[in-house]
Amino acid sequence: MKVFLDANILVSVLNKEYPLYTYSSRILSLASHPKFEVYTSPMCLAIAFYFAEKKHKSQLAKQKIDLLCQHIKIAGNSSKSVSDTLSNKKIHDFEDGLEYYAARSVDCKCIITEDVEDFYFSEIEVLNCQDFFKRHLLP
């Protein structure tokens, strides 16, 4: 199953933000599970870097992003995703639109975010960490 991680999931892992870290780190660990392919976008990485740099020094933030990128896949943001976001009248938040179309470009079946309501327009399943575990990982 291909899943897409929103920036807030990455930030919680990089900055060890509890209580979400308990779930987000387990979600991230799915990158080594053969049943899952874990994706994010360059925009999500940039947002995660910004918040990691605020908490840690720039060099450590870069190391954390580098380590993260060794384990997950990156879905691209293209000019098509920009135009699709701009032309979709349902999308009011440009950033969320870009993330959505990045997830679609690699055929993700689920977007994992703690801001589920931000993806009200999504035709892809959108779940928070806990709901993802309940639906896709627990028997």
- pLDDT (0 to 100) of residue 47: 96
Report whether 67 contacts 61 (CB < 8 A): no
Task: Flag whether pLDDT at 6 surpasses 70.
Answer: yes
Q: Is the pLDDT of residue 60 over 70?
A: yes
Q: What percent of the chain clears pLDDT 70, i.e. is strictly above it?
A: 99
Kindly state the average pLDDT of the residues 14-39.
Answer: 95
Closest to 22 (Cα-Cα) out of 137, 112, 111, 130: 130
What's the token pair of residue 38? 């874990």
Number of residues that this document lists for the chain: 139
| Three-point CA angle 102, 98, 73, nearest 5° | 30
How far, in Å, CA of 30 to CA of 27, rounded?
A: 5
DSSP 100-121: HHHHHHTT-SEEE-S-GGGGTT
Q: What is the pTM of this model?
A: 0.95
Is the model's pLDDT at 77 over the cut of 70?
A: yes
pLDDT at 38: 98
What pLDDT score was predicted for residue 139? 66
| Short-list 50, 116, 1, CA closest to 99 | 116
pLDDT higher than 90, residue 99? yes
φ, ψ for residue 135, nearest 5 deg: -85, -35
Look up the CATH number of domain 2-137: 3.40.50.1010
The pLDDT assigned to 88 comes to 97
Q: ∠ at Cα 38 (89, 118), nearest 5°?
A: 30
pLDDT the model gives residue 22? 94
pLDDT of residue 137: 85
